[in-house]
Amino acid sequence: MKLFSPLNYLRIRHSEKKWYDFILPSLGAVLAMAVYFFCHDQIPLVGSSGLIVQVNGLLQVLIGFYIAALAAVSTFSNASIDEVMAGDPPILLEKFRGTEIKVELTRRRFVCFLFGYLALMSFILFSVGLVSILLGKMISAWIIGLSSIEVLWFVKTVFVGLYSLILINLITTTLLGLYYLSVRFHQSSL
């Protein structure tokens, strides 16, 4: 589906990329879940000082930055960024006429995938946060009505884990994108 095509970034294969996309975010999410599980009374999720409100404030700025970075990279005039990346280049598996082919990515194409992915994921995370802010108290009351406060803590802890997984993925991938924009674009391909 065209609307979610920026998720193709996750189909890019490279030995280092899995650290930024999966391993570090997963470790961070487990840590966030543990902290929230043991300190849930001191960490508000919604409300004026809640975690989600604070993150959504940051995401409002980041969404614009990601789109501006994508536009800048797409139009940047430098022949070296249109060469296949040196060393062990990232590979994208694409389907062409029913056959899967491996495409070695250029710096421009990799960074365009990266910032397109970041823009989409930040918009999704912002939307999840917005829905959580608007419906959080109602959902909490519904869960307590059906079960107990312990089940609510468990549901909130799982939510914090999933939310943190996406948020930390955004952070690590943003740092990777900043590395490419500030360092790799200005180095030779060797």
pLDDT for res 78 = 76
Average of pLDDT values for 2-8? 90
Average of pLDDT values for 154-167? 93
**Count of H-run helices and E-run strands, the chain:** 5, 3
**13 has which bridge partners?**
91
pLDDT for res 26 = 97
- Asked if 78 contacts 185 with a C-beta cutoff of 8 angstroms, the reply is yes
pLDDT for res 186 = 63
16 — phi, psi (to 5°)? -80, -30
What residue type is assigned to position 25 of the chain?
P
The radius of gyration of the chain from alpha carbons, rounded to an integer in Å, stands at: 19
pTM of the model: 0.89
pLDDT for res 187 = 63
More confident residue, 39 or 126: 126
pLDDT for res 188 = 60
pLDDT for res 189 = 55
Average of pLDDT values for 61-87? 88
- For the chain, give the mean pLDDT: 89
Q: How far apart are CA 115 and CA 31, in angstroms?
A: 26
* 190 has pLDDT over 60: no
* 49 has pLDDT over 70: yes
Per-residue pLDDT tens over the stretch 84-104: 888 889 999 888 888 889 999
Percent of the chain with pLDDT over 90: 54
Helices 24-39 and 149-182 cross at an angle (nearest 10°) of 140
